[in-house]
Structure 1
């Protein structure tokens, strides 16, 4: 009877036999994350905000575009023009549904979108790591000095480039013919063990994330700054801990999929969730160091000074005023306090006065940066 089925009939069959006692629900298959699309767009929005903070800081404050900034721009364009649209298509399928609750037709479409997303993700992660390592080379190495950080950063840079380029081709050509990866009606051909390849890729991703996390810590602890500021810098770069966590969880699900090779649609959904979270984490690691510089720049603006002064005035008015002590000053010619003229200069007027003089303005900026 099965021999009389057409290809269309086969595509309407369940993609996998259900476990004993389980009745498939084709009308409303279960999903891993019900609000996956909102999460996807939220992570993209966070990455975009951080990207524009970084670029505004470089263009308007530092007035210099570094070489890693060009790679970051390319990464964001890839994220915006490819990963985000393909990810939207993916979450609008039965994302992470159990394979026995979808038809072979839906499963083939799901695999094709996963295939596209994985290729884009590998390229995007390579660009993220290139950006981070180029930033390390600029910040933590001295021109002309070939120390440990210099060689370690270069080694990580070239190893990541070599591996991720090779891994991109593995993801692009897992089968011969290539369509055999997502079209399960094709039987004339062969595929590599793509699940084993994904495990190796997840291992390399985790190891490189750990190396990128640890590399700057030894330098940060040697900086000649206050302990509190040193700890703050380490915490800033320790955001990479979350990247390592996502890599670890992603490796776990890749190993499970490699071992079982069943319920592929559900397990690929788990892998995709944690892989998607790695891109915004990379943007945070790259862009967060620009935030303090932006905040200091905004605080020097007249409108920010006026806002700060207004908030302080409101705070003072809301608290009970303490009794003020009067000081009598005896002046030549008599009259005491009646002849005393007091001039009060507000914070706004003081900072605007400082801004009109280059030397005084520089001194004020220096004092503000070392205050508290």
Structure 2
């Protein structure tokens, strides 16, 4: 074959463009940058939560860290393909001499995808076991996670092996004109995308039954369920990858369609990392650390400025009191601001419970729930707040009990 000829005969009336073919490199750059940002931020927040806030690093954290290595290599491979032939470049706009380099990248990146996906799914399932199975027990949920995890590991190992043995001699994988034989490697893309989507759905459903069986309020069940239901995004992305894999299987324009498959693979890997990292992130906002202290101080200052502005405008003559919005829309205990209330504090998961005792009225205890609050933060000082202490028109007023 003439190396300067197009790798695929162009459609009738279409002229090959080797020098500046139409491509989607700009869109690919933007999409990949978003994916890298999601993984970097998610991994950083999870590391901060586990190391600084929780002060414990477990097996699943190391497995997730291992998964970052093939992920970075896969993303580099996508950039390498972009540099070699371009993203969304039709095969008739590529010289035949460039095909071996592009196919080698496709072969290596396929294996890197399997390695990354198998490892990150193992980390996710280990995290599920850590969160939902009491230590030292073997519940049905534990057995289900173990079975799904090991089936996934064996499957991804087998798919990498099948890809490596798809041609004889081995070099024919990226040198299609070399004498030898191959089985239909394009079918592996469809099989892999299908089984991977089934695995995504199973992992998405697994924790939901446990969450809705926990003894907590419905509102909190919904919140926790949504944290774990971020896997819906990964499932949708997996469905999109399956559709592109089918198009790739049915088309002869291999380079154009395989680049689309790789972009969806990048998105699927990135959302899988997000599924792994997200459950640990809320601990950052429920712990007493520099982040929550800074947020509490900023919140207090903004609330104070809002109150002072309202008082100066004259629209609210009783604006010397703090509105309940200062405390995330939850009514607070009645007390005078020139004497701090006595607080008892208890932490349960993502929620902080407080009870404030009115120092001026015996047995007048007011309880409220306050999310993401630093219990050590000082109470703000508002002039003349005590003037409306017994005024039922103030938004924070409560009856004694």
1:110 paired with 2:110, answer no
Q: Aligned residue for 2:86?
A: 94
Alignment partners' CA distance in 2, 1:317 and 1:176: 79
Q: Aligned residue for 1:263?
A: 253
Q: Aligned residue for 2:193?
A: 202
More helix by share: 1
Q: Aligned residue for 1:357?
A: none
Q: Aligned residue for 1:71?
A: 63
Q: TM-score, normalised by structure 2?
A: 0.77
Q: Which has the higher contact order (CA 8 A, sep 6+)?
A: 1
Give the deviation of 1:176 after TM superposition: 1.8
Change (3 A) 1:300 1:115: closer
Instruction: Spell out the pairing of 1:279-318 with structure 2 (5 A cutoff).
Output: 279-297=269-287, 298=289, 301-318=292-309
Alignment partners' CA distance in 2, 1:94 and 1:371: 53
Q: Aligned residue for 1:330?
A: none
Q: Aligned residue for 1:182?
A: 174
CA deviation profile, 1:273-299 (whole Å, cap 9, x unmatched): 111101110111111112211122347
Does the aligned pair in 2 maintain the 1:175–1:191 contact within 8 Å? Answer: yes
Instruction: Spell out the pairing of 1:45-56 with structure 2 (5 A cutoff).
Output: 45-56=37-48
Alignment partners' CA distance in 2, 1:105 and 1:226: 64
1:83 paired with 2:74, answer yes
Change (3 A) 1:180 1:300: closer
1:241 paired with 2:232, answer yes
Give the deviation of 1:256 after TM superposition: 2.6
Give the deviation of 1:42 after TM superposition: 2.5
Q: Aligned residue for 2:203?
A: 212
Alignment partners' CA distance in 2, 1:155 and 1:59: 29
CA deviation profile, 1:200-253 (whole Å, cap 9, x unmatched): 111110111110011111111112111121112222212111211122222222
Q: Which of 135, 155, 158 is the matching residue for 1:163?
A: 155
Equivalenced residues, count? 336
Does the aligned pair in 2 maintain the 1:99–1:265 contact within 8 Å? Answer: yes
Alignment partners' CA distance in 1, 2:166 and 2:36: 28
Does the aligned pair in 2 maintain the 1:299–1:305 contact within 8 Å? Answer: no
Does the aligned pair in 1 maintain the 2:3–2:96 contact within 8 Å? Answer: yes
Alignment partners' CA distance in 1, 2:88 and 2:50: 40
Give the deviation of 1:148 after TM superposition: 2.4
Does the aligned pair in 2 maintain the 1:109–1:182 contact within 8 Å? Answer: yes
Q: Aligned residue for 1:335?
A: none
Q: Aligned residue for 1:57?
A: 49
Alignment partners' CA distance in 2, 1:43 and 1:366: 34
Q: Aligned residue for 1:323?
A: 317
More strand by share: 2
Change (3 A) 1:31 1:139: same
1:173 paired with 2:165, answer yes
Unaligned runs of 5+ in 2: 321-335, 355-367, 372-401
Residues 304-313 or 12-21, more deviating: 304-313
Change (3 A) 1:301 1:17: closer
Unaligned runs of 5+ in 1: 1-6, 327-341, 355-359
1:276 paired with 2:266, answer yes
Change (3 A) 1:168 1:229: same
Q: TM-score, normalised by structure 1?
A: 0.83
Alignment partners' CA distance in 1, 2:236 and 2:292: 40
Alignment partners' CA distance in 1, 2:166 and 2:273: 29
Give the deviation of 1:87 after TM superposition: 2.2
Does the aligned pair in 2 maintain the 1:202–1:247 contact within 8 Å? Answer: yes
Q: Aligned residue for 1:334?
A: none
SS at match of 1:367: strand
Give the deviation of 1:325 after TM superposition: 10
Does the aligned pair in 2 maintain the 1:32–1:266 contact within 8 Å? Answer: no
Q: Aligned residue for 1:336?
A: none
Give the deviation of 1:85 after TM superposition: 2.1
1:367 paired with 2:353, answer yes
Runs (4 or more) in structure 1 with deviation over 6 Å come to: none
Change (3 A) 1:101 1:202: same
Does the aligned pair in 1 maintain the 2:77–2:105 contact within 8 Å? Answer: yes
